[in-house]
Amino acid sequence: MAGRPTLASEATQALVRQAAAPPPPGDELTQREREVLALMVTGISNVQIAERLVLSRSTVNFHVGNVLGKLAVASRTRAVTIALQHRLVD
């Protein structure tokens, strides 16, 4: 009111820092992508993931591609490393 800030400057700065910070890796993964990533961590192939989740191979390939893209990595190995480092899977 009257042109004065309604939040303490420390609170405003904390909000700005949080808004400017990038989301943690994996934050945007869907539940299915997290399931696929969890199985990738176990080291099984896309064919085995498809069998385990009762999905087609092409659907699993699609999900793996999404996981790699959302984690900004080029390999399954790097995706698994990030998943373990950031505890993205149980």
DSSP labels, 44-64: --HHHHHHHHT--HHHHHHHH
| Average pLDDT along the chain | 90
- The dotted CATH code for 24-85 is 1.10.10.10
Using CA atoms, how far apart are residues 78 and 72, in angstroms rounded to an integer? 9
- Express each pLDDT in 28-59 by its tens digit: 999 999 999 999 999 999 999 999 999 999 99
Residue ranges per structural domain of the chain: 24-85
What is the model's pTM?
A: 0.76
Using 50, 70 and 90 to split pLDDT, how confident is the model at 70?
very high
Q: Which of 38, 30, 22 is nearest to 88 (CA)?
A: 38
